Structure 1
């Protein structure tokens, strides 16, 4: 679900409100939020009020949380308003924040990575508890959370609270969960503003900043939409090119067969057809693979299958496999003799990095020689691919590693603009880096560094 992916981005210091209208909206946000905390070894506290303990436990269990096991370990706790908000007899914002600080310290001392809390805020509807200070408390929390190891979701049942309270709830939470969306809150105000401690000048400045922030977000969205449309246009062209070539090969053979022209099926001509077909299929396969990898990276699902790999042998094998493509382009490709450099890496993913860098050199190398080198400084392995081609402007050197980006326009070179982006993500997933040194008109050197398997 979208909300689960959005909640994955939440972490220590975040202060969210959940404004829900039914049980499905409540549990779809709260259960994955708490389950993520359990998976991250955080202490997790659920403060019950509107629901019964049995209802809450069943909601967790039905969504796959082993409640009993987490309770036995002491990682998951359930409390009532008397145990938490009213533990001092009456509600006091400062005392409640002290309670959160103390509980977080206890969690860290017990070896937990942080403290995660969510509470049903209907307790504030009572008359005996000092709930009139609720908004003061929510506002002061925005001073407490940043820099802490605590994160919280405050749950507000919209069918129980009046519009005046919901309005103030939205004013006091930097992030709001509404339906199945996690929304950065443009209506959030600083504690000083909520408590009436700011000046008119400060409020005007805030209003101007909010307008500017909103317009900036609009521009970012507009650029994203344009980038998507540009990508779809390029992707359609790139995928159609090998498909059109394959279609033409089939049509040509079909026509020859219809005419009874068996000379078109001689071993020599068929080998040429098979060779061209193989190249187009490999190109199509790489395009589809790149699109799938972008999807995996975006979903944080780029997995590595680690094994002991000798880097020079891997690179030399890829160079040999791609030498035919370079020969057809009239370009020389060579690899320098290198030392044995072994690491605990994903063989297939590293082959993908080498292929992407060599494909980039083939595309932008201007027909000149390409040189590959593998080396090591004892702590890290180094792979360098050097071409003598077009080069890259200084202002473009960071940009070319982003999705769908090129140093030149799509009309000047084929491809989706994904090769360097995927290479960077693979290198970083291994704990490594990728960089480029270049001079316009004098070529580029792409360098990948990877941590060595010191025990291997």
Structure 2
């Protein structure tokens, strides 16, 4: 799930409920998001024990203020009756409070059985769900509305499915073929608009099929590239070992001069580091796909981090004869995952070294009081306009695999790390004139 997602969970057992809701909320906690759980169908202690049994120290997060339990009276019925527009205003205010507290987003889930009471009414509930579909896009909010199928009638479950773009059914997350626009749900659409919607739905799902076909093709291409990329350093290492083995077998120790051994060690070290990066990228993609990439936030000074990374990676630039300039900027302190931000900078510098055409590369840190900006500029091949978004996806490159090495994962992983910090990454580029990648991170985040 990402910011702006609005899902419904239709469950029949407690196991189905917890298997969806608890990992969802745990991910929000790991991403430093404010989390709200509206209880109603279950008792508070039952929900607490469910989190604890899944390995979540929920009491600690409640004490820190990051996680809040609320009842229907404290959330939906705070004014004594349910008002859909007032509830949207409540969500907007909560999002602002979360941002002011340094949170990277707001995550909410609610047991919707409260809507069965006389205070709500089915029509008002469907109106609210429709308003949510307008509220969520573009926001830093995600939500799962929980519906116990044993408590709700078929008519209401039908309307619930009509008002949620995505549904969780058992252990499956399903793009919702039956989702309708808010205007249609509220009876405001004309027959022409409904026909347009039906055609769009057919085209959308055919597009999804084509996307799946392209994904399978990309997977096969990736496996071919990955096999080649992993085999290249392994082949080099094998040749180095064979060379040493032959020299030792001949008893020709004299030929192994200090300079020759130093060269072998240097080449071996470079290949091992390359192999390690490839394996780390593959593991990170697996973690991201499984929603298991967590952040270890700590007090981090960005300028010192940049200088440390540049010192470690400068040998690669020197080996390639490329000048690396650093404009450190002001001292900027934030609560970030240091090792992950180091990974971001290493990925951007490696990218600049690969595509920079041997020309100087510049790293710069700047801040404006609310955000900090880390940029890496090269003067290399640059990008076409249509490639500027695509290169941040998995297995994508600006040029073909035959023109450059790598798995096409570095920028994808970089984007995921930055977004997990509540930040953004962008690129300014012109073909043949180089590229400038800029990471923007919010200041004031707290662990």
The TM-score, its normalising length taken from structure 2, stands at 0.70
* CA-CA distance at 1:172 after TM superposition: 4.4
Distance 1:304 1:284, change over 3 A: farther
Structure 2, unpaired ranges of 5+: 99-105
1:118 aligns with 2:111: yes
Relative distance call for 1:314 and 1:347 in structure 2 (3 A) is farther
Summarize the Cα distance change of 1:349–1:223 in structure 2 as closer, same or farther, 3 Å threshold: same
* Residues 1:241 and 2:232 are matched in the alignment: yes
Say yes or no: does 1:29 pair with 2:20: yes
Map 1:423-442; keep pairs closer than 5 Å: 429=421, 433=425, 435-440=427-432
Unaligned runs of 5+ in 1: 1-5, 89-94, 327-331
Within the candidate set 329, 351, 360, 1:371 is matched to 360
CA distance in 1, matches of 2:142, 2:428: 40
In the alignment, what sits opposite 2:396?
405
**Larger mean Cα displacement after TM superposition, 166-175 or 278-287:** 166-175
Pair member with larger Rg = 1
Q: Is the counterpart of residue 317 in structure 1 residue 291 in structure 2?
A: no
Distance change (3 Å), C-alpha of 1:98 and 1:451? closer
Q: Is 2:204 aligned against 1:216?
A: no
**Partner of residue 207, structure 1:** 198
The correspondence of residues 168-207 of structure 1 with structure 2, limited to 5 A, is: 168-190=159-181, 193=184, 199-207=190-198
RCO comparison, higher one (Cα < 8 Å, 6+):
2
- Asked whether the 8 Å contact 1:310–1:343 carries over to 2, the reply is no
CA distance in 2, matches of 1:107, 1:453: 20
How far apart are the structure 2 equivalents of 1:311 and 1:270? 33
Pick from 126, 129, 134: which aligns with 1:142?
A: 129
User: CA–CA distance in 2 between the matches of 1:308 and 1:59?
Assistant: 39
Partner of 2:218: 227
Is the 8 Å Cα contact of residues 427 and 433 (structure 1) preserved in structure 2?
yes
> How much has 1:179 moved relative to structure 2?
0.4
**TM-fit CA distance, 1:204:** 2.5
In the TM superposition, what whole-angstrom CA distance separates every residue of 1:5-61 from its partner, at most 9, and x where no partner exists? x4xx4769x4x443323331133335566778998556543223xx67876665466
- After TM superposition, the structure 1 = structure 2 runs for residues 160-171 of structure 1, keeping only pairs within 5 Å, are 166-171=157-162
Q: Quote the residue 1:446 is aligned against.
A: 436
Q: CA deviation at 1:409?
A: 0.7
Rate the CA distance shift 1:354–1:325 in 2: closer, same or farther, 3 A.
farther
Deviations 1:105-137 (A, max 9, x none): 89969x78797531338958xxxx799x74x45
Question: Partners in 2 of 1:199 and 1:386 — Cα distance?
Answer: 53
Q: Once superposed, what is the RMSD of the aligned Cα atoms?
A: 5.0
CA distance in 1, matches of 2:158, 2:217: 35
Residue aligned with 2:167, SS: strand
Change (3 A) 1:374 1:182: closer
Distance in 1 of aligned mates of 2:268 and 2:135: 58
Q: Which deviations, in whole Å up to 9, do the C-alpha atoms of 1:69-112 show, x marking residues without a partner? A: 969x99534569xx999x99xxxxxx644697499489969x78
